[in-house]
Structure 1
Amino acid sequence: MRVLWFVLGVGGLVAGDAAQLARWLRVLQREHYEPVAPLRFWYRWTRPWGPSTPSGRPSLALVGWVLFVAAWAWSLAIGRPWLAVASSVVYGVACPWGLTPRGRTGALRWTRRLRTVAIVAVAISAAVVLVGTLVGQALYAGALVVVVTPLTVALAAQAMAPWEARLAQGFVDQAAARLRRVAPTVVAITGSYGKTSTKNHLADLLRHDGVVATPKSFNNRAGLSRAINENLADGTRVFVAEMGTYGPGEIRDLCQWCPPAVAVITAIGPVHLERMKTLDVIEAAKFEITANASTVVVNVDDERLARWPDRLGGRVRRAGSTSLEADVRVAELEGRWHVWVDGADVGQMEPVLGVQPTNVACALAAALEVGLTTGDLTARLAAIGPVANRTAVTTAASGVVVIDDTFNANPASARASLDVLSALAVPGRRVVVTPGLIELGAEQGARNEELARDVHQRGVELVVVARTNLAALTRGYGSAVRRFRVRDEAVAWVRASLRAGDAVLYLNDLPDQYP
């Protein structure tokens, strides 16, 4: 009988560890193999107190932790491992509740890199069990391995990071060689927000001039080198490279092998504030793009960027919408967008719902720097259109107007999207569906409260998805907020509840590694 219980215990621990590995490997993959990611998300999911409970009271996680610790303490006190094993098996299979091994928004993809990390993680776990076996505590060691899987995955990812960097360098070297051979004019675009839209607007303006732009949000070392290796063909005249960063030094490294002739900076704001801690650090990280650029285009509507021209000297082209200091300005006048270049009104265009005139101005300024004339700009203004998942406005078959701002919403884009929702000529209900804003560090709670208050003051209904920002959004909006566990449930409610003449704004969309 003891052998049977031992076999059952070992089998349960293997199942629990496998479920935990699947969960945290998926988190690691979704977070671009950042070693600390499993630990950061483990804390988000399992902390007993946190911003996700609307009442501010301890969450169910506290009850779970009390029971788990009690089981282990009793098991150790009586010298029998079965209670510890049983609690670890339950934890491994079921916890964190809601973070499933398979996932809803992105399945685990067994790439070569993921398999490597998984093998190293299993090796670390096996070493712990071996040590436990040598001291006569194999079951306790196995039970412990299940619980510390996020740490094991983090250690495995960290151990493999230097090797992965060496492998990636080969693709970077290939991309750098291709850039030198094709020799396009490189326009690099960064900013806390607006960089993807500005990149797409510039590509629209240059679509007949041999332009290649990085696809989607390919803006890191791996994405940029892949875009060059797969898309940069002979005859390309302009390469538009979006450059993102999670911290100082990353953009500097990108510019060393993909040096821009023209650098564009769209905005400085509290995006990735959780990682970079202060706006000053964010600004310094973005400033790296200017080091060797012949010309720098800056959005002088932005308070911080408005100070850059004095730091950069004569290499600056100012762009904006509200600032009269802008060399290239796009602003509304009598219901149309007018374009001014060096003080002269050179063209007009119909306003495009969801498109920000400041981003258009930055794109126009960059287009002038790569050779377009003001006459070219005037003829091509109609080519500028909305960007997918960035305040794109459509009408569903049901007649409901849908605003899609689901990609990386931030405080500024949220306000702009709410302005679009408020400006729609619809007679019916207006609804915002959102999980709130993330990666805002210590400001996240206050920023989400502010967002919810803004929604309430506009007379718009608020639907909150998931619990990451539920408490802050509820505090800001009030008890009338609707809550859904996952986005699919919220979408089903929208389809069942809204009719022709209503409008819905989908603001941000968190992947399911967030609670």
Structure 2
Amino acid sequence: MEYISLKDIVKAIDGKIIFEGIYEGFNNVNSDTRKIEKKDLFIALKGENFNGNNYIKQASEKGASICIVDEINYDDSEIRPYTTIIKVENTRSALLDLAQYYRSILDIKVIGITGSVGKTSTKDLVAAALSYKFKVFKTEGNFNNEIGLPHMIFKLDNSYDIAVLEMGMNNLGEIHNMAKAAKPDIAVITNIGTAHIGRLKSRENILKAKLEITDFFSSENILVLNNGNDLLSTVKSNKFKINTVSLNDRSNLSAFNIKLMENSIEFSVKENDFDINEKIDVMAPGKHSVINSLLAVMCARLFKLTYNEIRLGFKNLETTKMRLEIIQGKKFKIINDCYNANPDSMKAAIDVLSDFDGNRKIAVLGTMGELGEKSQELHEEIGEYASKLGVNLLIALGEYSIYYKRGFEKLSINNRKIMEFKNYDEAVNFLTGSYIETGDVLLVKASRTMRFESIVEKLKENIND
């Protein structure tokens, strides 16, 4: 981290020093006392089942240089002389305010990425495309909310050229707050689907929430959109520039001669209506990866990279675990896509499964969360989609498995069947006991709360039998 004075910290978070220690700067920002190291800044966040204000004594004992609190739940005698305590009205807001200040003192470009699906994959692709020419930071794991994003900003320093920051949301206003802190120079919106529709009630509200990423844009900023999405294709602005990508010719950047392989994609590029003799190869499966890669190419072109530099950058692609992760065994293959699930990402994963050459296609699907009153309808839709795309066996788990079954059985096709199981062990025992044959391909996918990675680990024990 770059150095921040105590005076600037207090001003940035509109705080008041209530216990002044010997301040010598801080190394990292931390909100978990279990992970505090000497000279960290500890910010006492509160949640439904925890209150960081109750752990100020422990934070000081572990060497915290600063503790930011919004409740006084300690005694001065418990605080070490090197710890300064600052009180604010709300620690969650203070975390964003401090991140906003820290971002303002960095000489670095920021690309913000949001969308209903594909945020993480696009983040990885954008970072890779830029990596040949620039030193790039990208969001780690799922640190993409109002708490996680500030922690990513605090990991930056002026040795980086570009930061690629992912922004997710559950409600209106959240991306606004993150955009205020991150101040992206370029924003990318991958698509508008039905993720979080249970909370936001309509895709139009989801679009409104995603467009908050541009709330602090001016004429110098650029929004990069997937113009093939029906709602994103309607976005216009006189305030900032919009660049578009799609699989058709109505965009600034489009793809043609598309080839889909099991583990990769290949396509040629048309830029501003000119066919360019440039072929792009990316080690990422599925048709949706073509759009995500085009978004990455557009970002790289905005930073003046040549197509050869972009190709070389894509060779550095490091994908996030449990996102269409291909696990190859001697007997069968697993497509591990357990990180999260919504209707759009479900369809994309089933598309990838259908593209595989294999003996039989097996999908192990669980609940898609946060769909509200549309939950039954959308689970049924995915069941039907799986049947249409040639899934031979659908293993359904979770509270909406009956709706997967209804959708899957709408089509009466030979060699198609669906089975419901009450728990993971029953499903795995059936598959590994006698069902799986050599050459089968298995997709495993559900929302994060279902922890389907445990199914993958059990399947891996038999993958080479």
**TM-score in terms of structure 1 length:** 0.64
CA distance in 1, matches of 2:450, 2:382: 22
Residues 164 and 477 (structure 1 numbering): CA distance in 2 closer, same or farther, change over 3 Å?
A: farther
Residue 22 (structure 2) aligns with: none
Structure 2 unaligned residues grouped into runs of 5+: 1-32, 36-43, 53-72, 74-86, 261-265, 410-415, 453-465
Match of 2:395 among 446, 463, 466: 463
CA distance in 2, matches of 1:244, 1:119: 24
CA distance in 2, matches of 1:184, 1:199: 17
CA distance in 2, matches of 1:513, 1:386: 19
What are the superposed Cα offsets for residues 198-257 of structure 1, whole Å, 9 maximum, x if unpaired? 11101112234111111112111110111122x212311111111111121111111222
**Is residue 371 of structure 2 the alignment partner of residue 444 of structure 1?**
no
Q: Which structure exhibits the higher relative contact order, with contacts defined as CA atoms closer than 8 Å and separated by 6 or more residues? A: 1
Does the CA contact (< 8 Å) of 1:185 and 1:370 recur in 2? no
Residue 445 (structure 2) aligns with: 507
Residues 114 and 306 (structure 1 numbering): CA distance in 2 closer, same or farther, change over 3 Å?
A: closer
Aligned to 2:131, the other structure's residue is in SS state coil
CA distance in 2, matches of 1:498, 1:408: 25
**Is residue 255 of structure 2 the alignment partner of residue 317 of structure 1?**
no
Aligned to 1:356, the other structure's residue is in SS state helix
Does the CA contact (< 8 Å) of 2:116 and 2:190 recur in 1? yes
Aligned to 1:463, the other structure's residue is in SS state strand
Equivalent AA in structure 2 for residue 237 of structure 1: D
Match of 2:335 among 396, 399, 403: 403
Residues 289 and 281 (structure 1 numbering): CA distance in 2 closer, same or farther, change over 3 Å?
A: same
CA distance in 1, matches of 2:331, 2:318: 22
**Is residue 372 of structure 2 the alignment partner of residue 454 of structure 1?**
no
Match of 2:100 among 173, 176, 184: 176
CA distance in 2, matches of 1:261, 1:510: 31
Residue 369 (structure 1) aligns with: 302
Match of 1:220 among 121, 145, 148: 145
Residues 375 and 314 (structure 1 numbering): CA distance in 2 closer, same or farther, change over 3 Å?
A: farther
What are the superposed Cα offsets for residues 457-514 of structure 1, whole Å, 9 maximum, x if unpaired? 3242011122x21221122224953222233443343333313211101122442599
Bigger Rg, structure 1 or 2: 1
Residues 117 and 451 (structure 1 numbering): CA distance in 2 closer, same or farther, change over 3 Å?
A: closer
Structure 1 unaligned residues grouped into runs of 5+: 1-108, 121-159
Q: CA deviation at 1:264?
A: 0.7
Equivalent AA in structure 1 for residue 149 of structure 2: L
Residues 239 and 333 (structure 1 numbering): CA distance in 2 closer, same or farther, change over 3 Å?
A: closer
Residue 349 (structure 1) aligns with: 280
Q: Counterparts of 1:123-142 in structure 2 under 5 Å?
A: none
Does the CA contact (< 8 Å) of 2:45 and 2:51 recur in 1? no
What are the superposed Cα offsets for residues 83-133 of structure 1, whole Å, 9 maximum, x if unpaired? xxxxxxxxxxxxxxxxxxxxxxxxxx999767984699xxxxxxxxxxxxx
Aligned to 1:311, the other structure's residue is in SS state coil
Residue 245 (structure 1) aligns with: 169
The structure with the largest helix share of the pair is: 1
Residues 115 and 221 (structure 1 numbering): CA distance in 2 closer, same or farther, change over 3 Å?
A: closer
Alignment: residue pair count: 359
Residues 210 and 464 (structure 1 numbering): CA distance in 2 closer, same or farther, change over 3 Å?
A: same
Q: CA deviation at 1:279?
A: 1.0
Q: CA deviation at 1:375?
A: 4.1
Residues 165 and 505 (structure 1 numbering): CA distance in 2 closer, same or farther, change over 3 Å?
A: farther
Residue 191 (structure 2) aligns with: 267
**TM-score in terms of structure 2 length:** 0.70
CA distance in 2, matches of 1:395, 1:491: 18
Residues 334 and 259 (structure 1 numbering): CA distance in 2 closer, same or farther, change over 3 Å?
A: closer
Equivalent AA in structure 1 for residue 441 of structure 2: A
Residue 8 (structure 1) aligns with: none
Aligned to 2:237, the other structure's residue is in SS state helix
Residues 305 and 207 (structure 1 numbering): CA distance in 2 closer, same or farther, change over 3 Å?
A: same
Q: CA deviation at 1:339?
A: 2.4
Residues 183 and 401 (structure 1 numbering): CA distance in 2 closer, same or farther, change over 3 Å?
A: same
Residue 11 (structure 2) aligns with: none
Q: CA deviation at 1:405?
A: 1.7
CA distance in 2, matches of 1:504, 1:271: 24
Does the CA contact (< 8 Å) of 1:168 and 1:222 recur in 2? yes
Equivalent AA in structure 1 for residue 231 of structure 2: R
